Structure 1
Amino acid sequence: MATLAAHNPIPAHWSEGNPTEEELAHIPGEGGWPVVGNTFKMLKDPHAFAQHMVETYGRVYKSKAFGGWNIALIGADANELVLFDREKNFSSEQGWGPILDQLFPRGLMLLDFDHHRADRRALSIAFKPGPMRHYSGSLNRGIARKVEEWGAGRMEFYPAIKTLTLDLAADSFIGIEWGPEADRINTAFIDMVQASVAPVRRPLPFTQMKRGTDGRAFLVDFFTQETHRRRAEGGGQDMFSQFATAEYEDGSLMPVDEVVDHMNFLMMAAHDTITSSATSLIWQLAKNPDWQEKLRQEIESVTGGIGPDGRARDLAYEDMGRLELVEMAFKEALRIMPPVPSTPRRALREFEFGGYRIPAGSHVGINANYVHHEEEHWSDPYGFDPNHFTSEAVKARHKYAWVPFGGGAHMCLGLHFAYMQIKILMAQLLPRYRIALDQEPDWQAWPIPKPKDGLKITLERI
């Protein structure tokens, strides 16, 4: 416990202006053990902890963890209040900063209000139809090659899709050939992601944080040189080249250091969330062979399935929207296992919610996972039913009952890229193989869900 206290994960500058315990006394909740609070309870099983707190204290409660008090706001209305943020009262920068600021500063998720709007608009060029069509070609080639290499038999899906996603990022995001350079970039990137949730928050020798900050230094140098080169040579169709030449509304180029920070953040946000989401979808399809077959039939009706050469046909960019069942199944997997189970913010001004006055400076959070499993919104909260996402069901449900991509101004910029990658993965995988689950996985729920056993499955050649 003393070690954890000595390396408090919340830097001092993020704690300035926090409400005192007296100012939070009227809000129900519990502080947990001395020094560490509820940190270990939350890490052990965050979903069970949230369920206990809601049953005990209601939908607004306080909890001490990670060095300070946090106030949970639970429910679809809470999601709307915080994510839509009509009053511009909830800082994403000051919410995520204690976790990500050392390694991913100035990423799009760590910007607020006008700065966020300006950078988001400039970066959105990378997700226009022209670049997206280019990415779809890269994704089809890369995924087809790797899925064929997997072959029939037993495998651990999570590490396999993690490797594939990193390789795809090198190709589609950065536009470099797979090889030693891509491997070094991937290693640096993995070190940064692992360091972002390390308990020791200073880059002391031999710590994960030291490896993470070294990885960041390498990538900052690489992306800085590449940004200058691509601007001089006119860029390209890969995502990084689009970022490197992004312009603000007045026609000025984004500063090089900001391009670099956005690229580092995008790699982190896209890689880990897509890896988790693809794994949860495969998990559910392996457990639900009837839905697996429905998706296979839809894909074959759109792409033609296996071609004369014995390989699965590519999914054309123009046909992405035709895979309606695949999209519904993916959304349902995201409901069951959202890749970002909870979202932190910091209140800039006092506000009221659920009958409680929440002081300015409070660290607040919403819980997507809890709302994704409420009977109020879902006919089968713990089952896998893609019919939760028919157009009729969506219209009848609270708009903020499903928030795996966030919402409001901070809605995930790359959500359509995520849909595209998953649809291409399914189009390459399902016509080739049937998927069977070897054993039910135990999931690590936080910070981004992943199966502790790697998700053991068997691929059977069709």
Structure 2
Amino acid sequence: MATLAKAEAQNDPVFDHWSEGVPTEADIAHIPGDAGWPIVGNTFTQLADPHAFTQERVEKFGKVYKTYAFGGWNVALIGADANELVLFNKDKIFSSEQGWGPVLDQLFPRGLMLIDFDHHRIDRRALSIAFKPGPMRHYSGALNSGIARAVANWEGPMKFYPAIKELTLDLAADSFLGIPWGPEADRINTAFVDMVQASVAPIRTPLPFTKMKRGVDGRAYMVEYLTKETERRRLQGGGQDMFSQFATATREDGEMLPVDQVVDHMSFLMMAAHDTITSSATALIYQLAINPEWQEKVREEVMAVTGGPDGSGEARALDYDDMSKLELTEMAFKEALRMIPPVPSMPRRAIKDFEYGGYKIPAGQMVGININWTHHSEEYWDNPMVFDPMRFTPDKVKARHKYAWVPFGGGAHMCLGLHFAYMQVKVLIAQLLQRYRIEATEGYAPAWQPWPIPQPKDGLKVEFKKL
């Protein structure tokens, strides 16, 4: 197929509809792979165990293969070199907007991950003000107080995943929106949860009583609320919360972002931060629970940095200036993200013909990289099924392929809020490990729902025992 020059020249969507300009099966006949079952293809096989599916396809076809699923052909590009090609995107071959759009566009349109090239660069620069040291210091205080208030009541056996999910939503209302916990935050949280659940609903039309209908209604509520709030904060001046920073952000020409774009960016950021942090924090708690020797080493570091509980036995807050001192804690978090990446795979759409791995891949083709496979490949990691935070010492990081570890993506679309994620998890760990020993039953190995964002099917059964 010819190069789709419009995308390069104008940075506009190449296709008016996701189905337009799609290569035919004949266009990719030279790429190995299979169509799976009639009509449904490999959809259900892939959903049943996506990690095993990928491994089986790599062994059978190699690191470039095609598969028919979810109503279309996808070309998988596997490994760290493929991650670099797609994420770094040096030649502007791949569109993130057109990769994620079919999944997220009804609920989170025009979020930062769903725009490309100059539009993405300009908006990303404007929004980055929310992650400067001043606002981040403010978020640190809100996180310390909010997390301390919640985890003080976590003693005993519990299911961690639903507890941390509720907490991250409350923290989002506080740190992101700057509103107190209460009825208004609860209504926003309900709308937000409905939107997130609808993003992966099998029925994509908002029919009555479906998840998609609840999600669309939730988006309508969020758009109305965020629009009014953006206008109010511009008139009255906002605070240090993330939303207020976005509401008053300006582009390179000094103009504020249009109100509707502030709303879209805020909705998307809350979705991305909430679900990925929930999954990532759960992965770390699981690993610390089943690896008590590492838990104790991380606790020792936390105690050394914070000074341990105060005279009344209360956990001390983690000072913003001390975040960087929790080096082992950060390495443990990175290792948990390696073992259970919050976004196991990433879609893109080619907007130019390109070659990779000896195969010509036409413009318009949906492609995807598999982060989970790369994170578990013996090509890049020794004993990849073993939890070992020391993989992330500076010398080992330097010696490894730069794109062998990509839980936050890479290139221009690297997660804008990754430092916020590190900060939130460090505050959580500091509060928990000053108070409790995290334990799991011997041999505990819960099954994880692997897609779209990993979560333990049993909610992660752990016990917090007071120190």
Q: TM-score, normalised by structure 1?
A: 0.97
Residue number in structure 1 paired with 2:11: none
Q: Quick one: which of 382, 393, 402 aligns to 2:396? A: 393
Deviations, residues 219-274 of structure 1 (Å, cap 9, x unaligned) = 00000000000000111100000000000011100000000000100010000000
Structure 2 equivalent of residue 35 of structure 1? 39
Matched, 1:356 2:359: yes
The residue that corresponds to 2:463 in the other structure is: 458
**Aligned equivalent of 1:445, options 417, 441, 450:** 450
SS in 2 for 1:460: strand
Name the CA distance, whole Å, in 2 between partners of 1:288 and 1:348.
45
For residue 140 of structure 2, what is the aligned residue in structure 1?
Answer: 136
Residues 279-298 of structure 1 mapped to structure 2, 5 A cutoff: 279-298=282-301
Could you report, residue by residue, the CA deviation over 1:328-357 in whole angstroms, capped at 9, with x for unpaired residues?
A: 000000000000000000000100000000
**Superposition map of 1:50-89 within 5 A:** 50-89=54-93
Write out per-residue CA displacement over residues 124-157 of structure 1, whole angstroms, 9 at most, x where no aligned residue: 0000000000000000000001010112x10000
Map 1:215-254 onto structure 2 (within 5 A).
Answer: 215-254=218-257
- Matched residues, number: 451
Deviation at 1:377, TM superposition (A): 1.2
Matches within 5 A, 1:267-286: 267-286=270-289
Of 344, 361, 366, the residue aligned with 1:341 is: 344
Equivalent in the alignment of 1:198: 201
CA distance in 2, matches of 1:309, 1:195: 45
Measured in 1, the distance between the counterparts of 2:319 and 2:102 equals: 42
Which of 411, 417, 441 is the equivalent residue of 1:408? 411
CA distances 1:420-462 after superposition (whole Å, capped 9, x unpaired)? 0000000000111011113321100000000000000011110
Q: Aligned pair 1:44/2:35, yes or no?
A: no
Unaligned runs of at least 5 residues, structure 1: 1-10
Kept in 2, the 8 Å contact 1:379–1:388? The answer is: no
How far has the Cα of 1:385 moved from its partner? 0.2
Structure 2: tracts of 5 or more residues without a match? 1-14
TM-score, normalised relative to structure 2: 0.96
Equivalent residue letter for 2:202: P
One-letter amino acid matched to 1:218: Y
Q: CA-atom RMSD, angstroms?
A: 0.9
SS in 1 for 2:74: strand
The separation in 2 between residues aligned to 1:237 and 1:90, in whole angstroms, is 35
CA positional deviation for 1:12: 8.9
- Judge conservation of contact 1:138–1:172 (CA < 8 Å) in 2: yes
Residues in 1 aligned to 2:122 and 2:69: alpha-carbon distance in whole angstroms: 34
Partner amino acid, structure 2, of 1:268: M
Q: 1:165 aligns to what?
A: 168
Query: How many Å separate the matches in 2 of 1:177 and 1:380?
Result: 46
**Equivalence for 1:5:** none
Counterpart in the other structure of 1:262? 265
Aligned-partner Cα distance in 2 for 1:250–1:18: 37
State the shift of 1:380 in Å: 2.0
Q: Which runs of 4+ in 1 moved over 6 A?
A: none
**Letter matched to residue 443 of structure 1:** W
2:439 alignment partner, SS class: strand
Write the distance in 2 (CA, Å) between the matches of 1:33 and 1:188: 37
Percent of counterpart pairs with the same letter?
73
CA distance in 1 between partners of 2:298 and 2:32 (Å): 46
Q: Which amino acid in structure 2 is aligned with residue 103 of structure 1?
A: L
Equivalent residue for 1:6? none
Corresponding residue for residue 120 of structure 1: 124
Is residue 31–residue 37 contact of structure 1 (8 Å, CA) maintained in 2?
Answer: yes
